[in-house]
Chains A and B, each alone.
Chain A
C-alpha cells in the first residue's frame, strides 16, 4: 500500500513538473513576476510605463531592450488588460489579469522581436512592444 502511494505520489509529482515545464516553455519569451495586478504606487520611479486611458494604450508602439520590464498602468475605471494571440510569446496565447483603475501589470521581455498585444474585452485596443 505504501509503495503504491509512493508510486502515485511520484507519478503525480512527475506530471506536475511536466505541466510546469510546458507552461514555462510556452511563455519563454516573457516573464511575469506576479500574475496578480499590483498598485500603481508600487511601480518603480524609473520604470518603463505604458499608461492606459480613454480606451487606448498611450504608447502604442514601444521599443525596449531584451531583459527590460514594461509596466502597464490603467488610469481609468474601465478594466483593461494585456493579451497576446497564440504564438506571440509562446506556443499558446497569453492573457494578463484585468486591471482596475490605478492597478499595474509588469511583463519582462527576454527575447528580441515584435510583440503585438491587445485588450481582451476591447480587441480594438492594440499595441506593440519592439524588443531589440
Chain B
C-alpha cells in the first residue's frame, strides 16, 4: 500500500466512519451524518465538536475503543427514537423512477434515523401526533410493467415496520403525478386516509385505517387537492375558482361550492401550505399573492389576500419558485415562501431566498438568504422552529434556524431527486 499523504489521517477516519455507517445502515439503524449531535449526546457532541470531529469520526473512535477494550460486537436491529416535532421526512420521487425511498431524519441533529421503501410516485403522510406515518403507493408485477397494484402502507413510527397494508381496488386507482403535498391527506382523527383519483373522472378514495380496508370512491366535481377539516368533511380547489366542501358522513356524499375567490389569471401553485390542526390554508400564486382561508367543518372564512413581494421587487422579476414553495408555522402564525429573481415561466426552478411574513397582517418579517439552490421548504412546528431547505439538485437537506436564517447543519446523499418535506405537528 502506498504511503498515506500527509493530510490523510482525517480522510482515513472518514473512511472508517463511512464503513461503520454502512454497517449500521445495513442493520436498519441510524446513519451517521455530519453536523450537530443529538441532544441526548450533548456532552459527547461538545467534545466531538471541540475535536473538530464529525459524528462518523466519533463513532469510529468509539468502535476502536470498544475493540481495544475487548468488547464484543453484538449486531441488533435498532429502533428510531420516538418522533418529535423536529423529525422530518424527506421523500425522494427519484425523477419518476419505479421504486423510491423516504428518509426519516432528526432535524435537531441532522442524522438519518431510518428509511422506508416505496413504489412509483408514492404519496407520504404523517399523523400529526406522531403515532404513525404512511404512504399511498403503486407497484407493478414486473417492476415497471405488468399488473398494477395500488396500496396504502402504514408504518410504526419507531420500528418503521409496516403495521398495515391495505389494497386499493383496480377500479379505484390513484392519481400518478409529481408528488403534491396535499393531493392525499389524513383526516384530523387519523382514522381515514383520503387519496385523489384524476382519471377517468375526479374522485376521492376513502381508506378506513381503523378497519384496515378500502371503503369507497367519492364522486367529486372538477376539483383538486384534499384539505380535511373534520373526520368527515374536506375541501378541494376547483377549476372554476371556488373551493368545494365535501361531506361524506353516513355513506352519502354531499358537495357544495364556495364563492369564486380568485380569477383565471391568478394561478394558484400546486404546493399550498395547510395546517391540519388549525385549518389554515395558505395558497400563493405564481406572482406571490397569498390567499388564506380558515377551513372548519361548517365552512370557509376567506381572509383578505396580500402580496408576499413588494411592487418594486415584482417589477425587478422577483417571483416564487421551486417545488414545495410554501410553509406555515402554526404556533407563530408565520408564512414562509421560496422566492428568487426569475422569468415568469421558470416557476419550478430552485430559489435562494425565503420571505417570512406575518400571516395575520401580511407584514414582512424577514427575507432569509439560504446560500443554496433550494427546491422545497418546510418548518418544524415547535416554539423555536427549524427551517428545512431541500435541494433536489444536490440531494441535500439544509437545516436553518428559522428565526435568523443561519444554517445549522445539513444532511446529504438523500436519494436521486428528493422533493417532499413532511413533519409532525405535535403541539396542542
Contacts and interface: CB of A to CB of B under 8 A. Distances in A.
Interface of A: 83, 85-86, 93, 118, 120, 123-124, 126
A126 B199 CA distance: 12
Given A123-B198, A123-B202, A124-B239, 11 more contacts: A83-B200, A85-B201, A86-B171, A118-B200, A118-B201, A120-B199, A120-B200, A123-B199, A123-B201, A123-B222, A124-B202
In the A-B complex, list the 4 residue pairs whose CB atoms are closest, starting with the nearest: A124-B222, A85-B200, A123-B201, A123-B199
Contacts of B200: 83, 85, 93, 118, 120, 123
Chain B interface size, as a band, is under 10
A75 to B, nearest CB: 21
| Residue from B198, B199, B202 with most neighbouring chain A CB atoms (10 Å) | B199
Interface string B192-204: 0000001111100
A94 B160 CA distance: 42
A60 to B, nearest CB: 14
Contacts of B171: 86
Interface of B: 171, 198-202, 222, 239
Contacts of A124: 202, 222, 239
B260 to A, nearest CB: 16
A93 B171 CA distance: 11
Contacts, number: 19
Nearest to B221: A124
Nearest to B202: A123
By CB atoms of chain B within 10 A, which of A93, A120, A123, A126 has the most?
A: A123
Contacts of A85: 200-201
Contacts of B199: 120, 123
A83 to B, nearest CB: 7
B247 to A, nearest CB: 22
Nearest to B239: A124
A126 B200 CA distance: 11
- Among B171, B199, B200, max chain A CB count under 10 A is at B200
Nearest to B238: A124
18 contacts: A83-B200, A85-B200, A85-B201, A86-B171, A93-B200, A118-B200, A118-B201, A120-B199, A120-B200, A123-B199, A123-B200, A123-B201, A123-B202, A123-B222, A124-B202, A124-B222, A124-B239, A126-B201
Nearest to A84: B200
Contacts of A118: 200-201
A85 B222 CA distance: 16
B280 to A, nearest CB: 28
A118 B198 CA distance: 12
A83 B239 CA distance: 21
A85 B171 CA distance: 10
B258 to A, nearest CB: 18
A84 B2 CA distance: 71
A59 to B, nearest CB: 19
A118 B200 CA distance: 8
Nearest to A86: B171
A19 to B, nearest CB: 19
Contacts of A120: 199-200
Contacts of A86: 171
B196 to A, nearest CB: 12
A126 B202 CA distance: 11
A127 to B, nearest CB: 13
A71 B71 CA distance: 82
A44 B20 CA distance: 76
A124 B224 CA distance: 11
A86 B222 CA distance: 20
Contacts of A83: 200
A124 B240 CA distance: 11
Contacts of B222: 123-124
Contacts of B202: 123-124
A1 to B, nearest CB: 34
B225 to A, nearest CB: 15
B238 to A, nearest CB: 9
Nearest to B223: A124
A93 B173 CA distance: 14
B173 to A, nearest CB: 12
A83 B201 CA distance: 11
B153 to A, nearest CB: 27
Nearest to A125: B222
B240 to A, nearest CB: 10
A124 B201 CA distance: 7
A55 B201 CA distance: 15
B215 to A, nearest CB: 20
A123 B222 CA distance: 8
A120 B171 CA distance: 15
Nearest to B170: A86
